[in-house]
Amino acid sequence: MKADRTKIEKKARNRKMEEKLEAQLRELAGMIDHTILKPDATKQKVLEVCQECRDYHFKMIAINSCQVTLCHHALKGSGVHVGAAISFPLGQTELNIKLLETEHAIRQGADEIDYVVNLTELKSGNWDLVRKEMDRITRLCHQYGKICKVIFETCYLSEEEIIRLAQIAREVKPDFIKTSTGFGPAGATAKDVFIMKHEAGEDVQVKAAGGIRSLATLLEMKKAGATRFGTSSSIKIMEEARKLLEEGGTL
């Protein structure tokens, strides 16, 4: 009888440990935007990534805006958000075009919008237009109850420009500011994430993207202040996280 009770208690402990591990993995997955933005990705590949999002419970699939309808139908009922990249990856479209693309993506089923700032205007010192762009796109997203993320592409910016852009975000209050497209010469750095979070304030979250290929890098960005992570290495990161937790480590 005592032996049976011991076995039952052991099973209960193991079950609780497994439930705790799965909860931690689910929490991590809920911070990851699983990404498929390659220009040569087939529809079949996009659908495969949709299924991966379902299987791993990722927060969002990050796609080019022309794939919104496909992913909206594939992910219906899953709880996974559809995220459309707008004016991607260069940001070199006029504001009215960005607004049209944003609204069209939302009407097609996008839950989140990641748009690229107009770096030409920023680098030319036209901060009024940069602010207007951020304000108009953020307002449009919020009008529909959707999430707005502003992509800085920090690899092209000086520290002073990153600070000023983050300070504009503090005023405008998009949901997130994001480091990179992943198509520039460099991606996220912990330093840039820290500066962005410090300057944007508590109401604006930071998404780290570009070069997030390992759990170690993700955790470094998380420590710096990021709460969302864009990566195409999501499954590898989840496998690394499971192994770490099974070995008694922490995230």
Whether residue 130 is contained in a domain is answered as yes
Is 16 a residue of the active site? no
Beta strand 60-64 with 81-86 is: parallel
Over the stretch 145-196, which tens digit does the pLDDT of each residue have? 999 999 999 999 999 999 999 999 999 999 999 999 999 999 999 999 999 9
Cα 195 to Cα 148, 177, 224: the distances in Å are 20, 11, 9
Whether residue 251 is contained in a domain is answered as no
Q: What is the pLDDT of residue 14?
A: 77
Question: Per the residue annotation, which of 33, 98, 111, 114 is the catalytic one?
Answer: 114
pTM: 0.94
Question: Per the residue annotation, which of 59, 149, 197, 207 is the catalytic one?
Answer: 207
pLDDT band at 2 (very low <50, low <70, confident <90, very high): low
Over the stretch 78-115, which tens digit does the pLDDT of each residue have? 999 999 999 999 999 999 999 999 999 999 999 999 99
Whether residue 23 is contained in a domain is answered as yes
Over the stretch 122-133, which tens digit does the pLDDT of each residue have? 999 999 999 999
Is 132 a residue of the active site? no
User: In this structure, what token pair is assigned to residue 182?
Assistant: 């992943």
**CA-to-CA distance for 21 and 194, rounded, in angstroms?**
28
pLDDT band at 17 (very low <50, low <70, confident <90, very high): confident
**CA-to-CA distance for 4 and 154, rounded, in angstroms?**
60
State CA 191 to chain mean position distance.
18
pLDDT band at 12 (very low <50, low <70, confident <90, very high): low
CATH of the domain at 86: 3.20.20.70
Q: What is the pLDDT of residue 3?
A: 59
pLDDT band at 1 (very low <50, low <70, confident <90, very high): low
List CB contacts of 187: < 8 A, sequence separation 6 or more: 155, 179, 180, 209, 210, 211, 212
- Number of Cα atoms under 13 Å in the Cβ half of residue 237: 28
Is 178 a residue of the active site? yes
- Look at the chain and report how many structural domains it folds into: 1
pLDDT band at 5 (very low <50, low <70, confident <90, very high): low
- Number of Cα atoms under 13 Å in the Cβ half of residue 30: 7
Over the stretch 189-246, which tens digit does the pLDDT of each residue have? 999 999 999 999 999 999 999 999 999 999 999 999 999 999 999 999 999 999 999 9
Whether residue 190 is contained in a domain is answered as yes
Whether residue 40 is contained in a domain is answered as yes
Whether residue 166 is contained in a domain is answered as yes
Q: What is the pLDDT of residue 42?
A: 98
Over the stretch 25-64, which tens digit does the pLDDT of each residue have? 999 999 999 999 999 999 999 999 999 999 999 999 999 9
Question: Per the residue annotation, which of 59, 98, 149, 178 is the catalytic one?
Answer: 178
* Domain carrying residue 204: 2-246
* Cβ atoms of 153 and 166 closer than 8 Å: no
